[in-house]
Structure 1
Amino acid sequence: MKINQDYIKVLLCAFEETEGPDTLLTELENKGYQRNDGEFIFHMRLLTDNKLIERVDGEGGFGHLIYSNMVRGINTSEYHWIIVPLRLTAKGHDFLSDIRQKEVWQAIKANFKEQGLGTLTSIAKSLAEAYAKKSIKNITGIDI
């Protein structure tokens, strides 16, 4: 499955738009995400892998677990969910802030379509910093 940059952006926005400091799976489902949708699981894994979201209790993952069972000599696996509070990390907030900048998002969409999420977070940060420096120079005349 390929990374869908737009999906990542709106999913991060859904985390940010929750009422409290934590986000529950049920809140994301109320926003239209389905817990067993492959695209949702794939992108949640990427957000977790890149430390943009995390469980509030500090444990790994986001509540999507696989259990292996031996049934009549056959190993079977089933996915299960546990509902755990999740949070948008500081890195997640920063990345979302960066990609909300119109110039940054346009540059990413036009020039970095095939990049992984780790690279995208770095690129977004670099672009946001460059645009900030340009703005500082335009406002103050000081070249940083």
Structure 2
Amino acid sequence: MEDNNTNIGEEIVTEILDNGLATAEEIEGCSQSEIDHIEQQCEVLLPEAYRSYHRHIGKSSGEFLRGYTCHYPRIIQEQAKAERVLQREDTATELDKHKFVFAGSQGVTFFYFDVREPDPPVYVIAEGHGDPDKVTDSFSEWLFETLARQT
């Protein structure tokens, strides 16, 4: 995996195809206007690593990420769902304007990062588990670790 955040999308597509998690026809990225729509609706400027992911697999990634709500346009709704979970938890954690929920699972587990970093650490919010936990040092690491667990 290269350190260049603009190549993360290309690298993950190669790994998805090489591991048989999707065919080329099952992979679809977002247009620039769709990425802009996410930013407008969520009122954030997304980090480059995440933008690269969306350019390459933002709409569909075959079997990769199955079970997660993370593709466009459904991702736009995950922030509000995560905020409701945090309200039910006994935690001081808030999803301020710099924290973006990029994936949800089953409506009770949510992954987020701070948008101010180009390839930010990933944290998880899980209903019934209190404060969020850091799960990886970067979004790209989260992608590749998730891929490794699915192969």
Assess same fold via TM > 0.5.
Answer: no
TM-score by structure 1 length? 0.28
More helix by share: 1
> What TM-score results when the alignment is normalised by the length of structure 2?
0.27
* Structure number with bigger Rg: 1
